[in-house]
Amino acid sequence: MFATALFVVGFFQTLLDLTVEESLTKYGFRYVAAEDWGRLRRLFRQMLLFKVLGGAIATAILVVLAPAADAIFGEPGVGTALLAAALIPLVQAPENVGATALLLHSRYDLRGAYQLGSAALRLIAIAVGVQHGVTEALVAMVVAQCISTAAVCIVGVVALRRFPRVEPRGLGEDVPGIRSFVAQSSIATGVISARTTLVPVVLGVVAGPTQVGLFRSAQRPQTGLAAASSPARLMLLTEQTRDWERGGHVSVLAGIRKYTLGAAALMLVAVPVFFVAMPWLVEVVFGQEYVPAVDAARIVLLAAAIQFAIGWTKSLPVTVGRPRLRILTHGLETIVAIPLVAVLGAEWGATGAAVAVLVSTLVFAAAWAVVLARLHAEIGDDPTRLVGETTL
């Protein structure tokens, strides 16, 4: 019930919570480079409003959905758990806006520290709340998120005030571009949501909550590798977006190549070790009752290794100002994943869902290989050349 409730919350949160952080980062660095502090402040005010509005809509839908959740998932208590966690999208909404102010100062170290603190608070909340039950654990997570959001927003305000203080002014001719950026980023995030959170939701419908719990455990290699690559991806987003705005297009693509080769070499060493040790790891970490998740965890490990090697796919569309690239590539991934989960999950449960994830990840990687080749061809060796907006 805990896993199912969090997956449903995550789905609607990602689907309906407007993705403004990417436009904040892209246009924020543009205004910092131009020393246009009035527009920078206006941008933050507008994006915060949109972010809170999206979170409120997601929370409202979760509250409406909760009474029907028991019937949808065939398990009593899921609706109560979902209602307990419904406030998460709303209270978490301002967090990333505050954290983005740190990125504009290139203080991704501080942003990482606050993200670590936020994760630690949620972990403590689960450890305390779970002693009393699933609903109590989710309520404790909401409280922990309120504390985390408040802390990050306070630091974000301090970071924003370190820029020269001028009166906010209209965004002028940038308004259409910003709206388009936010719309495309939100659509892309919604597509990603369909891939990451709708997969277990579909699995729960066709195979039941037990298989969702096994699949959630099997996803730990993916979660772990994503966390391990997070600092590098955060640095890529910050440094490469800044360099791109300054005209360093060739150096950005060169950095992507170096990252991919280094990450792939690391995975060639790490994956065989964890593949062999997986039965022992699952039993030690989760217990004997989770041994049926071993095969699924091994398959997810392979998909996670591919995602680790191409971790730049999240930051590059923001860097080059083309969020629609995420719509295209993640759209292909989702189109492959969801039907496969429905079919293979119904037949083999968590293991079938893991196979669907691996196949869709291979499709995603192939799509990005084509996109990256096109970018290289367009830019060539001219470091001052801008990529045409209509070619991809």
Say which DSSP state 247 is in. Answer: T
pLDDT value at 188 more than 80: no
The pLDDT, as a whole number, for residue 194 is: 66
Give the other-Cβ count within 10 Å of 272's Cβ: 10
Rounded CA Rg of the chain = 21
For 51-64, the pLDDT digits (tens) are 888 889 889 999 99
> CA–CA separation, 10 vs 7, rounded Å?
5
- Confidence grade of residue 138 (pLDDT, cut at 50, 70, 90): very high
> CA–CA separation, 337 vs 32, rounded Å?
40
Answer yes or no: are the C-beta atoms of 368 and 381 closer than 8 Å. no
Query: What whole-number percentage of the chain has pLDDT above 70?
Result: 96
End-to-end, the C-alpha distance of the chain in Å comes to: 43
Nearest to 317 by CA among 123, 181, 214, 174: 181
Residues in the chain: 392
> CA–CA separation, 83 vs 139, rounded Å?
9
The pLDDT, as a whole number, for residue 243 is: 79
- Confidence grade of residue 392 (pLDDT, cut at 50, 70, 90): very low
Highest average pLDDT, of 6-20, 123-137, 319-333, comes from 123-137
Average pLDDT rounded to a whole number, residues 4-26 = 80
> CA–CA separation, 324 vs 30, rounded Å?
19
Give the other-Cβ count within 10 Å of 258's Cβ: 10
Predicted structure pTM score:
0.69
pLDDT value at 383 more than 60: no
